[in-house]
Amino acid sequence: MSRISALDLPMADPLPDQTRKYFDICQEKLGLVPNVLQAYAFDIDKLNAFTAMYNDMMLGDSGLSKLEREMIAVVVSSINKCFYCLTAHGAAVRQLSGDPELGELMVMNYRAADLDPRQRAMLDFAAKVTKESSVIEEADRQALRDVGFGDRDIFDIANVAAFYNMTNRMASAIDMRPNPEYHAQFR
């Protein structure tokens, strides 16, 4: 097995039953166990905290579609140049949209994409959260309201953008490697 990250932090052995089942489900549904989960599995509390936050945010109820949440993930990761997250979530955008070019546009430069004003405003806000959050003001939130987002949606856009600013940094800091299967998926 190729290495997961630059750190020598082997997975808990044996894995707790619940974790083992979760990984089996990943393998069955995705064809792989995402390396990020394996990287956290040296400490099951940290793994559980991460997956709880991730699953609520990316898969739970929201005014944002799952594709939109993945688009935010990729745009943030493009600004932060995170190889792991661009690879994994780029594949997710291709899968959920059925549009490989859209995945490439999110990776390369979302401004070159032909988006509707709602999604464009969403990504502009996510980019500002990433690059200069300290200058965000009411006018930035109002720009989201102006294209139809409610306050809960604004929370979710901010939350997803903020989350990938965490994972991008974590992945780059420890050189987390994406599962190689992602590259060819949904092309």
Task: Name the site residues for a copy of itself (rule: CB under 8 A).
Answer: 6-9, 42, 45-46, 48-50, 52-53, 56-57, 60, 78, 80-83, 86-87, 100-101, 104-105, 107-109, 111-112, 125, 129-130, 133-138, 141, 151-152, 154-155, 158-159, 161-163, 165-170, 172-175, 180, 183-184, 187
Could you report how far apart the first and last alpha carbons of the chain are, in Å?
Answer: 25
Closer residue to a copy of itself (CB): 28 or 45: 45
Cβ proximity to a copy of itself: between 23 and 165 the closer is: 165
Cβ 131 to a copy of itself shortest distance, Å: 10
- Give the integer Cα–Cα distance in Å for 66 and 60: 9
List the structure tokens of 174.
């420890």
Least separation, in Å, of the C-beta of 130 and a copy of itself?
A: 7
Nearer to a copy of itself, 18 or 28 (CB): 18
Taking the CA atoms of residue 45, residue 50, residue 52 and residue 58 in that order, the dihedral angle to the nearest 10 degrees is: -170
| CA–CA distance, 58 with 70 (Å, rounded to integer) | 8
Q: At what angle do helices 117-132 and 151-173 cross, to 10 degrees?
A: 50
Q: Are 74 and 103 in contact (CB under 8 A)?
A: yes
CB of 45 to a copy of itself, least distance (A): 5
To a copy of itself, the closest distance from the beta carbon of 68 in angstroms equals 16
